[in-house]
Amino acid sequence: MIIDTHAHYDDEKFDGDRDVLLTGFRERGVELVINAAADLDGCRNTMELINKYDFVYGMQGVHPDDVGALTEEDMTFLRENAKHPKVVAIGEIGLDYYWDKAERDVQKYWFKRQIDLARELKLPVCIHSREAAADTLEVLKEANAQEVGGVMHCYSYSAEMTEEYRKLGFYFGIGGVVTFKNGRKCKESVAKLPLECIVLETDAPYLAPEPFRGKRNESPYIQYVVQMIASIKGVTEEEVMRQTSENARRVYPKLASIG
Ligand code: NI
């Protein structure tokens, strides 16, 4: 069975068939899904999903693209939601210097504030970082993020950076990109990382693996990611599923306590 540690089933691309799709997951080999919030609406919709489906867990957080208008009131809203027993992490939070939708200082401020919130609630974090490897690491260190732990989502940085994030005890989210023909960097990361540091993720509806690249992604497609990781590591697909599920429960302890 598979644990999809990062998906966005609140996305409008699922509006037409969300219920049919999600209720069919278990039969298709998906044990648990963690719905990641990106903005405040996403946070609200994530709470609805976790209350509706027993196998859906959630994160509460605001993505760097959407921190521009955040307020203290919003932080209170996140804090209250995140106390729910099925909210397993604060995420996705971080820095995005590719889109640069908010000023970099503003991104850093709310990134740090949300790490502080995670510490206060004793929750791990799920990190979105794009073209901001060094600054992300700096904020994580300043905020003592090794005390909360978490996952580098959709991981794509260099081997040197990987070592730095590993020193903080972070896990690495691997998804569809590892199956892409131009996914060489991601394949190299998987080759170097111990299986004990990897968790599976879709980022659905985005980043569908081959042979569905470009289409809407969904958690059962993780089997193609499992196949690729198994072939890179020279282990069975069962071993990849078993170890990554164990990792997911280790990095997100609230999963283990309920599941
Ligand atoms: Ni995401």
| pLDDT tens sequence across 64-106 | 999 999 999 999 999 999 999 999 999 999 999 999 999 999 9
Answer whether residue 204 shows pLDDT above 60.
yes
Answer whether residue 7 shows pLDDT above 60.
yes
Length of the chain: 259
What is the predicted pLDDT for the residue at 240? Answer: 98
What is the predicted pLDDT for the residue at 157? Answer: 81
Ligand 1 geometric centre to CA of 250 (Å):
20
Return the axis-axis angle of helices 133-142 and 104-121, rounded to nearest 10°: 40
Residue 154: pLDDT band (50, 70, 90) is confident
What is the predicted pLDDT for the residue at 256? Answer: 81
Q: Quick one: average pLDDT of 212-221?
A: 98
Answer whether residue 156 shows pLDDT above 90.
no
174: Cβ contacts below 8 Å, ≥ 6 apart = 155, 186, 189, 190, 198, 199, 200, 201, 225, 229
What is the predicted pLDDT for the residue at 160? Answer: 85
Ligand 1 geometric centre to CA of 232 (Å):
24
Place of tokens 């693996």: 209
pTM of the complete model beyond 0.75: yes
Ligand 1 geometric centre to CA of 213 (Å):
16
Ligand 1 geometric centre to CA of 203 (Å):
5
Ligand 1 geometric centre to CA of 184 (Å):
21
pLDDT, averaged across the chain:
95
Residue 258: pLDDT band (50, 70, 90) is low
Plot region of 7 (φ>0 → left; ψ -120 to 50 → alpha; else → beta): beta
Ligand 1 geometric centre to CA of 86 (Å):
18
Ligand 1 geometric centre to CA of 159 (Å):
22
Ligand 1 geometric centre to CA of 8 (Å):
7
User: Between 150 and 257, whose confidence is greater?
Assistant: 150
What are the Cα distances from residue 212, in Å, to 17, 34, 177, 199, 219? 18, 21, 11, 21, 12
What is the predicted pLDDT for the residue at 99? Answer: 94
Answer whether residue 259 shows pLDDT above 70.
no
What is the predicted pLDDT for the residue at 138? Answer: 96
Ligand 1 geometric centre to CA of 61 (Å):
11
pLDDT digits (tens, 9 = 90+) for 40-55: 999 999 999 999 999 9
* CATH superfamily, with its number, for domain 2-255: Metal-dependent hydrolases (3.20.20.140)
Answer whether residue 196 shows pLDDT above 60.
yes
User: What percentage of the chain reaches a pLDDT higher than 90?
Assistant: 94
Ligand 1 geometric centre to CA of 259 (Å):
23
The 10 Å CB-count burial string (b at 16+, else e) for 120-144 is: ebebbbbbbbbebbebbbebbeebe
Q: Closest Cα to residue 32, out of 12, 54, 8? A: 54
User: What percentage of the chain reaches a pLDDT higher than 70?
Assistant: 99
Ligand 1 geometric centre to CA of 92 (Å):
7
Amino acid identity, position 169: G
Ligand 1 geometric centre to CA of 36 (Å):
6
